[in-house]
Amino acid sequence: MAAHLLALASPRTFAALFDSGPPPWDVTVRHVTSAADAVRAVETHEDFRLLLVERDVEAQLGRLVQRVRRSRPGLEILLLAPAVSDAVRAEYTALGLELLDRGQDTAAIRQEIERRLTRLDLQRRAGILGRSRRIHEILETILQIGPSDIPVLVTGASGSGKELVARALYSVSRRQERPFIALNVGALSETVLESELFGHERGAFTGAVARKAGVFERADGGTLFLDEVGEMSPAMQVRLLRALESGEITPVGGSQGLHVDVRILAATNRRLEDSVRRGEFREDLYYRLKVVHIEMPSLAERPEDLPELVQHFLLESSRQYGTPGRTMSEGAMRALQAYGWPGNVRELRNVVFRMAVLARRPRLEESDLPEEVRQPALAQHLPVPLHRSPEQAEREIILQSLLVLRRDLQEVLRLLQGKAHPAGAVVVDAEPPPIPAPTTSQNLRENEEELIRNALRAAGGNRRAAAARLGIAERTLYRKIKEYQIS
């Protein structure tokens, strides 16, 4: 582990902690005895990961924290102090300080410092930025379960950093010298997914001119990360469960099973427990994947982490795009923290990059923010409480679009059957697709399935055209086709 610690402490305390023998970790320690020296060290050296402050040496903790946070928002500050009351502890916590009981023996204090440095080193390597309690708890969990082979399910909204968690688990596992393979199962059709997971033999299907190893085989001895696992079809859920239970896979077109040794990490932005209740996801597979559950919080749930993320993305923009050094004004930062960030960390990264590239001044002001961030109340797509699940809301939107489409097609049919043509209308001499009679079923799922089938027939089986007719995304249509097993 490579880390740097800055200690603002009395010579006696520093000697007791760090001069009684070499630290049991790979760390460079620098000693200062005044707040002014500590601030100068932080401002001139970016390698410090932890600031240890002895309370008796610095009385004006609030001022020190404010000055340090201005230049290094992500620096962790650990306060070495005697046992305090709950009220005083709450004050320190509000300042963003972690407390370390000075009443412990030296060995225990050194062990606590080492634990935090280990967590900070993982944070730096994994790119999971933030000093909020939720992020610290996630990092501690990763360090605890990473060395085992236990399956982990990572949940959270899109853009919250689920793959970063998976890669962090891999980086502290005993399999870190073996492959890490990531596969987005939600982006693949069932046929392609089966081949990608388990491989295929030569001649298994048209175009299979050679044998191909699937991700299970390529990840043998290592880690396999399955993203968007909640999008998997029932048939593929069965095959995945069989592979997990037996540790054996059979390539498409093959008859000989292959034994594989793979640690499974999975992620989804869905609430799989709801999918299980609706019968869309197998309960046995759910519990097989969710031995340990890690939930990534949304960016809106950890606004205290935003300054560190902004500073990181400004530096990343400078390295990646050659933009000059940028800083964020306090007004712009307050506006960023007030925004809801529906796209989470991914959206913040894009916004900061855009600001850094387009700005004409080194200091980014509130006027440099995109309109939707600067004035979110004017946005046209604000979240609205619907009192129903996202899947139910989506079905209702699709159904409404299909009903509008049906009325339009019926009107076109009346025109083509020789009824009055409006002025300027162009009549095409072609047989229109049959318009189904309105269904009498009140079941929303049945209506949706029927209307999707009708739209596909009307489009001659062309899924892109059918999606355009329905007014929905092509990917949504593909998912609905898989859900209803429409051939």
Contacts of residue 224, defined as CB under 8 A and 6 or more positions apart, other chains included, come to 181, 183, 215, 216, 262, 263, 264, 265
Those residues with Cβ within 8 angstroms of residue 348's Cβ, 6 or more apart along the chain or in another chain:
299, 306, 309, 310, 313, 336, 341
Q: Determine the pLDDT at residue 396.
A: 53
Q: What pLDDT score does 1 carry?
A: 41
**What is residue 387's predicted lDDT score, i.e. its pLDDT?**
44
Distances (CA, A) of 128 to 42, 69, 122, 472: 21, 18, 8, 34
pLDDT category of residue 341 using cuts at 50, 70 and 90: very high
Q: CATH 1.10.8.60 in the chain, residues?
A: 303-377
Q: Name the nearest CA neighbour of 362 among 316, 329, 331.
A: 329
The edge-to-edge listing of strands for the beta sheet with 223-227 is: 180-184, 223-227, 263-268, 152-155, 292-295
The whole-number pLDDT of residue 411 equals 57
Does the CA dihedral 396-397-402-407 come out positive or negative? positive
One of 3.30.479.10, 3.30.365.10, 3.40.50.720, 3.40.50.300 is the CATH number of 139-295, namely: 3.40.50.300
Select from 193, 211, 196, 220 the least CA-distant residue to 253.
211
Instruction: Tell me the CA end-to-end span of the chain in Å, nearest whole number.
Output: 54
* CATH of region 303-377: 1.10.8.60
Spatial CB neighbours of 180, under 8 Å, sequence gap ≥ 6? 167, 170, 219, 222, 223, 225
Q: What is the pLDDT of residue 427?
A: 39
**How high is the pLDDT of residue 410?**
61
Q: What is the pLDDT of residue 23?
A: 54
CA-to-CA distance for 362 and 350, rounded, in angstroms? 18
DSSP one-letter code for 231: G
Instruction: Give, in order, the Cα–Cα distances in Å from 392 to each of 75, 177, 338, 399, 448.
Output: 44, 44, 30, 11, 11
User: Under DSSP, is residue 48 helix (H, G, I), strand (E, B) or coil?
Assistant: coil
* Residue 324 confidence (pLDDT): 82
The DSSP call for residue 434 is P
Q: What are the tens digits of pLDDT across the range 156-192? A: 999 999 999 999 999 999 999 999 999 999 888 888 8
Query: Would you call 223 helix, strand, or coil by DSSP?
Result: strand
Measured CA to CA, the distance from residue 291 to residue 264 in angstroms comes to: 11
pLDDT score at 264:
97
Q: Which CATH superfamily is domain 3-126 in?
A: Response regulator (3.40.50.2300)
Contact between 102 and 80 (Cβ < 8 Å): yes
Pairing verdict, β 248-249 and 258-259? antiparallel
Coil, strand or helix: which one is 348?
helix
Confidence of residue 431 (pLDDT cuts 50, 70, 90): very low
pLDDT tens, 288-311? 999 999 999 999 999 999 999 999
- The answer to whether the beta carbons of residues 89 and 99 sit under 8 Å apart is yes
Compute how many other C-beta atoms are within 10 angstroms of the C-beta atom of residue 210: 8
Look up residue 87 and give its two tokens.
């009220």
**What's phi and psi for 181, nearest 5 deg?**
-115, 125
Which residue carries 């997914």 as its tokens?
Answer: 193
What is the pLDDT of the chain when averaged over all its residues? 83
pLDDT in the model for residue 27: 77
Average pLDDT for 262-267:
97
Distance CA 338, CA 336 (A): 5
Start-end ranges of CATH 3.40.50.2300 in the chain? 3-126
Rounded CA separation 225/164 (Å):
11
pLDDT band at 484 (very low <50, low <70, confident <90, very high): confident
Percent of the residues in the chain that have a pLDDT greater than 90, as a whole number = 48
CATH 3.40.50.300 spans which residues of the chain? 139-295
Give pLDDT tens digits for 305-338: 999 999 999 999 998 888 888 999 999 999 999 9
∠ CA 352-357-358, rounded to 5°: 100
Instruction: Judge whether 372 and 379 are in contact, CB under 8 Å.
Output: yes
DSSP 8-state code for residue 185: G
Tell me the two tokens of residue 466: 């059918």
pLDDT class of 154 with cuts at 50, 70, 90: very high
Q: How far apart are CA 102 and CA 12, in angstroms?
A: 13
Mean pLDDT value of segment 64-72: 89
253's torsion region: left (phi>0), alpha (psi -120 to 50) or beta? left
Comparing C-alpha atoms, which of 116, 149, 89 is closest to residue 25?
A: 116
Most confident of 14-28, 54-68, 94-108, 209-223: 209-223
Would you state the structure tokens that stand for residue 487, as one six-digit string? 């051939």
In angstroms, the Cα distances linking 465 to 341, 352, 377, 452 are 33, 37, 35, 12
**Average pLDDT of the segment spanning 223-230:** 96
- Judged by DSSP in three states, 268 sits in strand
